[in-house]
Structure 1
Amino acid sequence: MSGLETAHRKELADHFHQDVLDHPDVMAECLSVLRLYNLTPADLFFKYEAFLMSRPSGLRAKLSHLSLSTLRELRTEIQREQQAKAVAGMASTSNSFAAEQSNRSAVGVRKAKNNINDIGGFLEGLSTPARPARSRAPGIHSTNGALNGSPTGSSFSPSSTSTPQRTTPAAPPVSSYRPGPSKLSTASLLETPIGKGANTLSVPSSPISPAGSPTSLTPQLSQPFELRPQPLSLLETLNPHLPATTSGLPPDSKQRIMLSSTADPKNWNYRYMFEKISQRSEALDDAIDDYAENIKEAYGISELGDPHFVSEESIYTVGRILSPPTDTSKATASSLFLESSRLLGAGKRIALRFAPAGSLKVRGGPPGVKGFGLFPGCLACVKGRNGGGGVFVVDEILLPAPSALAQSPSSELLDFQHGDKLKGQPVSMITAAGPYTLEDDLTFAPLDALLEVAVRERPDVLLLLGPFVDSQHPSIISGAVTQTPVEIFRHHVSRRLQTVLDASPGTVIILVPSVRDIVSSHMAFPQSMLDKESLALPKRVKVLPNPCTFSINEVIIALSSVDVLFHLRREEMYQRAEEAEPEVASEGVETKDAMAGLIRHVLGQRSFYPIFPPPEGSVAEVNLDVTHYPLLRMDGPAPDILILPSKLKHFSKIVDSTLVINPAHLARAHTAGSFAKVYLHSTPRSDLEHTADDLEDFREHQVWDRARSEIWRI
């Protein structure tokens, strides 16, 4: 018995215990598998665990003990895995040979000497001598026998028909040979449509595969990510008068910021697809009642009425805007309904009609507002009357008031910003949103470029939003991958994040999932955190739910990876109206900022996703769980920073004293995307020390005034 076999026996006993010690036949079979497939005992044990997890729960107990029959089934699985790797290697060899063939000067049909065709170049330039014509005597008909023999008197001689004996180079094997394209065509137009994954494994197109669609037959010219134009270039800056910090944390420094959150992770670990109609209606009703209380407090309204009561007097009422399906993609002013809560109007719906232009008023908007936007699911407070006929005529609409700004004691701000950790230096943050790889491959080159920036600049916070392994990636959809999604995440994400932590121990990395994340076990919105253990994430990486609100020192940050801005842009219906109480300075001046209007919907509705129901074409991107609607609420003060990634153009804006950032996506379909950098400067020490002794002195954070935001191209 060799020393290697003895070591293998000992390791197998450590992993499988009595299953191999008490059964010599199982031990012998394990050693045979190790030798045949070049595995270690640890590899065999991991494959056995994966084999158990892939079986139904009812069979796991039966297969939990390693028997000879179980081991033979495992051996079959390992053999299939090895064959899949061999197919992938064969496809790679085929592609390299085809590339070599296409680089030759003469492709397609070659012409040798005497104008003899060499189809595909099999003869490698060797020519076959021309066969002399055979003379026939008059009246003599040739037969098969005459052709095979050599009749006397014939000019045809065996010596003239023999081909010179030359050693012809061997043709490539049939499995790897691909003829090169002809000079009058391109390879992309002659190839059979196939889907290719990150490992260049070719998969035949199917009815559900993007490769089988007509658009995929059109050649797409995409350049490598390394050759992208203007890499790491600055696109726009907010508050450019504030300096940007490029030195970063010292290489051996510790964490300088304090991360806190009031959210209980258990609230997000709920069971979805178990909703009850009563719970859904109760959650929707509570949202209307809470909004009504906020409106009454903001505008001093003592009582709200029922819009279904016929009256000649105008009343204030609150409800949810609904729109039945129409022929157009957007709702129209004549197709809107107002749904009351059970407390205000017994949950009934009534049609809305707006007063004519000039008499319709809007109250509570920004200075210079000349209208308002509505969308399905929008909570609204309207003033009007029901004169009969089942229609409520709206004379005025009251826009929601902004939430109160966040405040903290001056002594606490002084300790955070000028304490022993920060010492008056700014806090730096890099934020980006997935996808993190192009649709051409699964190499995660954009993520690699972003983390190189993080290693070089060593920010205090690295905030990454999903999707990390996108379920809509063409290679994932077509199945052209040989790794599981978890293995892809471990190899391309977890390993790279560990590199960042090794280079900058003081950096706090925060991960927020997306509904499109195939590595997330929770596919509904609101969405729970990623599982750190199964994804092999480093211990110092923080995982948060989607959406979430947390604090970095005193700064409140709210974020969501669902593209709510794009959905609002598609669903919003704009109605012209006059300002009820215009300010003298802004009279006649119209405020035109469509993006700020979309952001005010999110802030005013105090919800990360105020649309209900979600757009028909975007249901899969949301998977909204109405029963847990309270987890989407933005309760409390307004956030200092609101991060909403969207496929709309990137921006940094200040809306109602909140810094709103859309970093866009780090990777688009075939091009590089963008990310954001934020530098939070401290308040002057003298301003804080002046009132630090007063325990009742609270100061607003004023992040919008002391934060520099930059949008960078990756």
Structure 2
Amino acid sequence: MEEEIKEEFTKGGFTLDDEEEILQKCLTFCIQYKLSASDIVANWDLYSINRGLDSTVRSSHMGPFLEQLQNEQVDKVKEKASGLHLYSNDVSMILNGDYGETEGTLDTPPDKHTLSLQKSSDSAQRTNSVKLTSAKRLEPVTPFGSRKNKFIVQLTLNEHLDMQTIKAEDDNANFEDEIIRRVQPSKECSLIIDRSQPEPGCRFMYDRIEDKFNFLENCIKKRATAYVSSGRYDEPVDPSVASQESIFAVGMICCEEEGRIKEKGTLLQSSVEHSGGQRVRLDLQKLSQYSIFPGQVVAVEGRNPSGHCVIASKIINYPPLSAATDEEHPSKKQAMDRNLQLREPSLDTPEVSLIVAAGPFTTSDNLLFQPLNDLLAYAQRKQPQLLVLLGPFIDSDHPELKKGIINQTFDELFRIEILGKLQDYVDYMGSTVRVILMPSIRDANHDCAFPQPAFEIHPADFSNQIKSISNPGMFSANRVKVACCTVDILKHLSAEEICRNPQGGSKQRLTNLAKHVLSQQSFVLWSSFYPLYPPSEDVPLDFSLASKALHFSSIPDILILPSDLAHFVKVVGVEDADGEEQVKCICVNPGRLARGEGGGFFVEINYRGDPDSSSASIIRI
């Protein structure tokens, strides 16, 4: 089994510092927690992403890695126990002895909460595979409503660019003075919904095999057209035909068998036009670096001497831009427009201030929506021009909703707790602000389909300053293009991607995952917000709606992708086939506003003209 573990690490692009010791410890973990070789490497992959580690697995990392495995076992124990809804982040802090800033339930009596912690501790100690390593005495987790610090900056982007430093605010802040001193934002936020498909009331889950075929075939054909139109590549050939000469083919990465893609089980499926849709094995051993996932459309240079396997010498993820079509290409035109704005000061520079938060918007122990209240209070003081809220709003995974003990319908809960609070917010802020809502497939009061229509918000009942867009969707605020999608594509790509990094190269997984999303849609006029195929099991992807709703033609200024992975805000440069940076984009994972019984994260962005001149902060509540 040690050989299997070593092979899985190698496939994932990892190198082992102390091979013998690491393999022995991983083997022990596998036996202790009943994990397979692929499971242990997948867990390590997630661990390394959340902690920003490089591709080298060191023996010194095994201790903290073991704690993560222990925490997962504690979560499984808690799921079986009734009445326990501690979030995994809280349990992690308890195990590490760091519970001073941990946030728990709202208005929970201390005795009851202490008893819950003692029960979870006893349950964990009775499990053979879990041992609490902290030598400190367990103390009650600080209730969410009683925490000392409300807003703390966790991460900043371009901090030197006039981004106001946010200090921790205690509960005794004088909000009445804030109301008296409140000044309306100087500029009204212009808002244009670029595209919102599908329309509310559409028929979904009626897709046919023909719809799926056409969707995948168009992705490959449009990508091949982009390569040929550049003038640097010939017409793609059939990769399944034996040839001693070097060939150029365009196709989709496929997996030979069910489960996670493996290096030796990688296939390339070309279009019906070039190969009749046949698949051929893809040999990646000669490549010094690559990063692929199922559903990714790429160009491959290599040889197929036998007719059964293409020996790849190069994988091209980014089509080059044709000099003849530079002015017509939407992404190139976008870059030219930005440069023109920088050269001509007389032109208005696109500027917008916005706050972005993703659900859940209430803690797992109640439906009081205290995190949402705190977010709106913060927005009232900071006065952004735009507030972007991404679902789930009425989370179908919430324990109270699963029990079925609430005395309201889901629609009533949404209207009162979400739309009602937002109406009060816009009434307070005035006519210059806008609010954008995007649903999630986890919203209990909305259609469970992807792509997903927007919420039906009637202006007669609520202000027209509150808008809803489809999931995914795009809009322009003060001429700043923003694209959003609430499906956790980053997490799904992380689970399916395999890569190999050059020796000594840095491993920036989160940046690479964001680049995957951009590269699969930046230079192609027909590409997808969700490039993974087949989709994750929990994504109800409807191919009859996908062709009109999942595609966009230009790189946005801000790309918002909420995920359960570590929160981040990064400037990502999209490259062409020569590795030259063409257009930059601010990619954001705002995290979750509520994490179990504790508070989570949101993002504040001040966009000024281009990503390099903009600033952003990730804030924890």
TM range, smaller chain: 0.5 to 0.7
Q: Secondary structure at the match of 1:654?
A: strand
Letter matched to residue 510 of structure 1 = I
Unaligned runs of 5+ in 1: 1-188, 201-210, 362-370, 578-587, 682-700
After superposition, give the CA deviation of every residue in 1:409-463 in whole Å (9 maximum; x if it has no partner).
689969x9989xxx98953211100000111111111001000011122210001
Residue 262 (structure 2) aligned to one of 321, 327, 332: 332
CA distance in 1, matches of 2:349, 2:218: 44
Q: 1:317 to 1:640 in 2, by over 3 A?
A: same
Q: 1:318 to 1:412 in 2, by over 3 A?
A: closer
Aligned match of 2:225? 293
After superposition, give the CA deviation of every residue in 1:609-636 in whole Å (9 maximum; x if it has no partner).
1101123xxx22x211123333454533
CA distance in 2, matches of 1:672, 1:636: 36
Aligned match of 2:35? none
After superposition, give the CA deviation of every residue in 1:485-536 in whole Å (9 maximum; x if it has no partner).
111112211111111111111211110111111121x221111100113995
Aligned match of 1:649? 566
Unaligned runs of 5+ in 2: 1-77, 86-104, 108-115, 125-137, 167-177, 321-330, 522-527, 574-583
Aligned match of 1:238? 157
The answer on 1:594 being equivalent to 2:594 is: no
Aligned match of 1:36? none
Contact 1:234–1:712 (8 Å) recurs in 2: yes
Letter matched to residue 287 of structure 1 = C
Aligned match of 1:482? 407
Q: 1:372 to 1:425 in 2, by over 3 A?
A: closer
CA distance in 2, matches of 1:561, 1:600: 17
The answer on 1:464 being equivalent to 2:389 is: yes
Contact 1:405–1:637 (8 Å) recurs in 2: no
Q: Secondary structure at the match of 1:710?
A: strand
Residue 332 (structure 2) aligned to one of 404, 421, 426: 404
CA distance in 2, matches of 1:513, 1:540: 17
CA distance in 1, matches of 2:454, 2:355: 20
Letter matched to residue 203 of structure 2 = R
Alignment of 1:427-506 (within 5 A): 427-505=352-430, 506=432
Q: Residue 637 of structure 1: CA displacement?
A: 2.5
Higher relative contact order (CA 8 A, sep 6+): 2
Q: Residue 479 of structure 1: CA displacement?
A: 0.9
Aligned match of 2:144? 225
The answer on 1:608 being equivalent to 2:533 is: no
Which moves more between the two structures, 600-609 or 254-263? 254-263
Aligned match of 1:354? 284
Residue 672 (structure 1) aligned to one of 576, 599, 620: 599
Q: 1:242 to 1:252 in 2, by over 3 A?
A: closer
Q: Secondary structure at the match of 2:218?
A: helix
Q: 1:488 to 1:551 in 2, by over 3 A?
A: same
Residue 660 (structure 1) aligned to one of 575, 587, 594: 587
Q: Residue 229 of structure 1: CA displacement?
A: 5.7
Letter matched to residue 592 of structure 1 = K
The answer on 1:640 being equivalent to 2:567 is: no
Aligned match of 2:443? 517
CA distance in 2, matches of 1:199, 1:257: 35
Aligned match of 2:305? 387
Runs of 4+ that moved beyond 6 A: 214-217, 246-250, 416-419
Q: Secondary structure at the match of 2:312?
A: strand
Contact 2:243–2:307 (8 Å) recurs in 1: no
Q: Residue 274 of structure 1: CA displacement?
A: 0.8
CA distance in 2, matches of 1:417, 1:373: 41
Aligned match of 1:260? 192
Q: Residue 590 of structure 1: CA displacement?
A: 2.7
CA distance in 2, matches of 1:215, 1:611: 38
TM-score (norm 1): 0.59
Which moves more between the two structures, 242-251 or 671-680? 242-251
Contact 1:467–1:515 (8 Å) recurs in 2: yes
After superposition, give the CA deviation of every residue in 1:295-351 in whole Å (9 maximum; x if it has no partner).
33457212110011111111111111111445xx53210011111111121111112
CA distance in 2, matches of 1:372, 1:303: 23
CA distance in 2, matches of 1:298, 1:548: 29
Contact 1:381–1:398 (8 Å) recurs in 2: yes
Q: Secondary structure at the match of 1:648?
A: coil
Q: 1:611 to 1:217 in 2, by over 3 A?
A: farther
CA distance in 2, matches of 1:709, 1:535: 35
Identical counterparts, % of pairs:
32
Contact 1:193–1:217 (8 Å) recurs in 2: no
Q: Residue 195 of structure 1: CA displacement?
A: 8.4
Q: How many residues matched?
A: 459
Letter matched to residue 301 of structure 2 = K
CA distance in 2, matches of 1:232, 1:408: 39
Contact 2:433–2:465 (8 Å) recurs in 1: no
Aligned match of 2:290? 372
Alignment of 1:108-257 (within 5 A): 193=82, 218=123, 222-228=141-147, 230-244=149-163, 251-252=183-184, 256-257=188-189
TM-score (norm 2): 0.67
CA distance in 2, matches of 1:255, 1:532: 25
Alignment of 1:259-278 (within 5 A): 259-263=191-195, 265=197, 270-278=202-210
CA distance in 2, matches of 1:576, 1:465: 34
Aligned match of 1:585? none
After superposition, give the CA deviation of every residue in 1:566-615 in whole Å (9 maximum; x if it has no partner).
111111011356xxxxxxxxxx8734311111111100111321101123
Q: Secondary structure at the match of 1:392?
A: strand
Q: Residue 294 of structure 1: CA displacement?
A: 2.0
The two structures, once aligned, show a CA RMSD in angstroms of: 3.5
**Larger Rg: 1 or 2?**
1
Contact 1:228–1:671 (8 Å) recurs in 2: no
Q: Secondary structure at the match of 1:497?
A: helix
Q: 1:195 to 1:532 in 2, by over 3 A?
A: farther
CA distance in 2, matches of 1:649, 1:410: 31
